Structure 1
Amino acid sequence: MRLILLLLTYLSSLSYAHSSAPVVSWITLDFPPYYIYADRDEGEGRDEQLISLLHAQLPHLAFQRQGFPASRAIHELSHSDSGYCMVSLYKTAQRKKHITYTKHYATIGLSPGLALRKETVQKLGLDIHQAVSLVDLMLKHQLTLGVAQSRSYGEKLDLLIARLPPDQVVVRPGWDTLQSLTNMLIKKRVDLVLGYPSEHYYLSKRLGSDDLLQVSLAGVPLVAKGYIGCTKNADGKQAVTVFDETLAQLVTTDEYRRIMLKWLPDHLRRKLNRHLTTDIRLLSNEVPTTKEQK
């Protein structure tokens, strides 16, 4: 009888733990190719696929998705009473005041690069497989650069852009700024557009242009890593702990690799794939063997 009572108590505690687990509310944005709301590739965004992959490993953790305009996302994440989580965030000192982050990265992609027309590549004799100097391109060849207003490209690039001749930099405000700049590039109103490689690739496909190429920039880190951030409350901290336990293994899977590589042209896909392979090898060496675990 005592054994039965103990078993009932144990099952009851499991049921309570399950029912008390927080529902994760993911903030999503209409921001392809990270989230794709309405297109032939709807649902194929990198970050939304990562969320699905993460919860496939955490079937006990209920979740929902909440769409916000990009301008409101960080504010809601930082100040919500109920709490939210978001994929692929940079860690900054200001954000850490209101957001709790995973220790392990959740997304990895190539750092910002340049989109340019094929004729520009041919005219300047550029090799798209080699990183180029933004300053050299701008100053030696008097090219114009398109950038999105109020967007950070990382500390080094932000400082570099601020020092470029103002008459050679076109700053575009408003919605869909990168798409607008890409249209300007196609129409030869700018020579270069700064953005993340996956964004350039997605937009060239969406706009049906086969006249655009991408090059990497010299002097910036090869990759950019994004983390999961949750509202800084009890539920958010609990969710982050669970995610950290799963991410270390998740990023070594073939499905994770497929998601991270999906929105890249071939020559940049190979570059990121080499980095992913190295990362996986390092992580695998950190995982203890069965004997060590015992």
Structure 2
Amino acid sequence: MEKMLQGKVALISGTGGGQGRAAAIAFAREGAAVVGCDVNREAAEETVRLVQAAGGRMISLQPLDLAEPTDAERWMEAAVSEFGGVDILYNNAGALHARGPFDQSTLEHWQNTIRDELTIVYVACRAVWQRLVDRGGGIIINTASISGHVEFLPMRSAAHGAAKAGIMGLTRTLAAEGAIHGIRAVSISPGVTRTPATQRFWSGTNEQRAVGAAMIAKVPSGRAAEPEDIAEAAVFLASDRATYINATDLLIDGGLRGVSFTSME
């Protein structure tokens, strides 16, 4: 069977674990050469080892801070130098710093969250844009969140919701301006997902596990997403099978946003 991403070069951020690691493995399995990055050196190198052990092609730069244009440019240049260009940019990385009620938030937490969830997407897109134009097209996949659609109580963060909504707006702009160059841009919005960042909801304090249980209770599919659920959707969006999907956001949330769900038990 023909691989969905054969011959493509994919930049994937945040490949040290969770959705990024799952994406690196899935994209490489489907034939893409993967250029990853992460702030965690050991975790990122482990992902490279896993991909290469499975027969895939991957390199990674770490530690790398995509909010810094020089780092983003170095990441892009590594893809060009090693694999000859860039076809796919998957902005997966992000870090949530601000949690809790609005009246307990601080400007510092707000600024750090915007930087590490929205600014890094903008900077990476700026670094790659001209390369995609020169290549005659490509695809940008930006990771938003269900929090960009709804305020998802009991997990509260004004900065997180604002950043993820901002990613959707940025994605539409990229799609509008990229169309003439053959560039598509889409965002994906995971719902409740099991990752290292959300592990506290499954194995943390009693209060944290209660929050996790409350979130799962709202999901009609009855479970949290696994990182692989998100990665497989991203593979499809990056492939030539999805060429008419553009300027939109794909919710991957087990029906949470579309169904008002109350357990009858």
Q: Could you tell me the TM-score, scaled by structure 2's length?
A: 0.34
Greater Cα radius of gyration, structure 1 or 2: 1
Q: Could you tell me the TM-score, scaled by structure 1's length?
A: 0.31
